[in-house]
Amino acid sequence: MSNDSKKLIKTIRKNWGWYPFVLIPFVGTVMFNLVPLLKTFIDAMHNNAGTFIGFTNYEILFNDEEFIIAIKNTVYMGALGVCLNIPFAFIFANMLNRIPRGKNLFKVIFLTPMIISIVAVALIFKFIFSADSAGVINYFLSLFGISPKGWFSDPSMSRETVIIMAIWKGIGYNIILLFAGLQTIPSEYYEAASIDGANEFQKTTKITLPCLRNTLIFVYLTSCISVLKRFADVYAISGEYGNPANTLLTVILYIYKKMFSTLFFKDVGIGSAASIVLFFIILFITCINYILTEEREMSLFRGGKRRENI
């Protein structure tokens, strides 16, 4: 036995008391991360009968019209949500930062949607955005002479309505996050800029945005990841069906249908293949996060953090 390994054994013996502290999360990671991931990879190469079929599942998957629709819906809804949510959250956070009084009251009000789950939100919004003329929104529109809309039940606007709902639920969180970031910018910067004669727009582009860069990247990329995992809201609206007309079918809903459905034909192999595709997309976004953010250690491991849908 070499000297090095003897030394290693000696230090392990001396410090063995530390290992019990980290044992349970370590075992948990093996059991619920490493093994399931490998299992999913293997499942994706088998058909329902358990025969090895190589990459055929992926072929089936990309020729499956439903999966393509699911990807399109997820990306469309995600892009719409992120593009509306973050800029507005930024604007509102800036306003919140500028007002002299009542910041805490506004913060609490903006955060109230956090306590209500997306399922309950969906239940309530189904009535508020009800298709008949007695729904709150349709009634409000009728005051301006606009005819009642179908909202969730109309295939041409169901996705947008889900986004409205998700923004209502999620914008407060982003406002608070960006507001906390804004507060870390020293006010001297703005004072100096005012002395130099900068206007509000210049202050925003030359001071606020660069100082808030890391926060914005964090918000943007975690939002991107969480919208790819959109499930609870569309499930609460349409159940397993993704109705109306498959417009609310998302990737996770597709995976759920393929793996656990009680109503549709199940195929764990194809579901696993879809999971792997999703896994690589999310890994890709996490890697962008890793490259873009300066503080690498932190940002790398934030990628997959659980967040509500945007």
Partner 1 sequence: MSTIQAKPTLVKVSNIRKKEKRMPTYVLIYYFILVLVAITIIIPFIWMLSASFDRVNTYELPYPPRFIPANFSSFNYKMVITNMQILVYLKNTIIVAIMSLIFQLILTPMCGFAFSKGCFPGKSIILIFILSNLMVPFETKLSAIYNIVKNMGLSNTYLGIVLPGVMTSAMFIFFMKKFCDDLPYDLYESGVLDGASKLRIFLQIYLPLMGPALATIAVLDVMNTWNDLLWPMIVVNKHEMSTIQVGLAMFSSDASGINRHAGMTAAASMLSIIPLALVFIFLQRYIVESIAVTGIKQ
Contact set for partner 1, span 158-187 (CB under 8 A): 168, 172-173, 176-177, 180-181, 184
**Sole residue written with tokens 């949607």:** 113
Tell whether residue 284 is a contact of partner 1 (CB under 8 A).
no
Give the contact letters, 115-134, x = binds to partner 1 (CB under 8 A), - = no. xxxxxxxxxxxxxx-x-xxx
Nearest distance, CB of residue 188 and partner 1, angstroms: 19
How far apart are the C-alpha atoms of 50 and 287, rounded to whole Å? 34
Is the N-terminal amide bond of 244 cis, ω within 30° of 0? yes
How far apart are the C-alpha atoms of 127 and 73, rounded to whole Å? 23
When the beta carbons of 161 and 272 are compared against partner 1, the nearer one is 272
Nearest distance, CB of residue 76 and partner 1, angstroms: 19
**Sole residue written with tokens 């070499």:** 2
Interface positions, 201-240, toward partner 1 (CB under 8 A): 214-215, 218-219, 225, 229, 231-232, 235-240
64, 276, 284 from 226: Cα distances, Å? 24, 16, 14
Tell whether residue 12 is a contact of partner 1 (CB under 8 A).
yes
The first and second tokens of residue 140, run together, are 């409000």
* Cβ-contact 161, 174 below 8 angstroms: no
Tell whether residue 254 is a contact of partner 1 (CB under 8 A).
no
What is the separation, in whole angstroms, between the first and last Cα of the chain? 57
Helical segments of 30-157, H only: 35-43, 56-63, 65-98, 103-111, 118-128, 136-143
C-alpha atoms less than 13 angstroms from C-alpha of 213 in its C-beta half-sphere: 10
Binding segment for partner 1 among 35-43, 52-60, 71-79, 202-210 (CB under 8 A)? Answer: 35-43
Binding segment for partner 1 among 9-17, 46-54, 68-76, 203-211 (CB under 8 A)? Answer: 9-17
When the beta carbons of 79 and 136 are compared against partner 1, the nearer one is 136
Interface positions, 89-108, toward partner 1 (CB under 8 A): 92, 95-96, 98-100, 102, 106-108
- What's phi and psi for 51, nearest 5 deg? -85, 140
When the beta carbons of 57 and 215 are compared against partner 1, the nearer one is 215
When the beta carbons of 117 and 246 are compared against partner 1, the nearer one is 117
Nearest distance, CB of residue 31 and partner 1, angstroms: 6
Residue closest to 184 by CA, chosen among 212, 216, 209: 212
When the beta carbons of 90 and 92 are compared against partner 1, the nearer one is 92
Nearest distance, CB of residue 72 and partner 1, angstroms: 19
Residue type at 21 in one-letter notation: F
Nearest distance, CB of residue 40 and partner 1, angstroms: 5
* Cβ-contact 77, 230 below 8 angstroms: yes
Nearest distance, CB of residue 43 and partner 1, angstroms: 7
Nearest distance, CB of residue 74 and partner 1, angstroms: 12
Interface positions, 51-70, toward partner 1 (CB under 8 A): none
Nearest distance, CB of residue 33 and partner 1, angstroms: 5
7, 182, 244 from 158: Cα distances, Å? 65, 35, 7
Q: 3-class DSSP state for residue 169?
A: helix
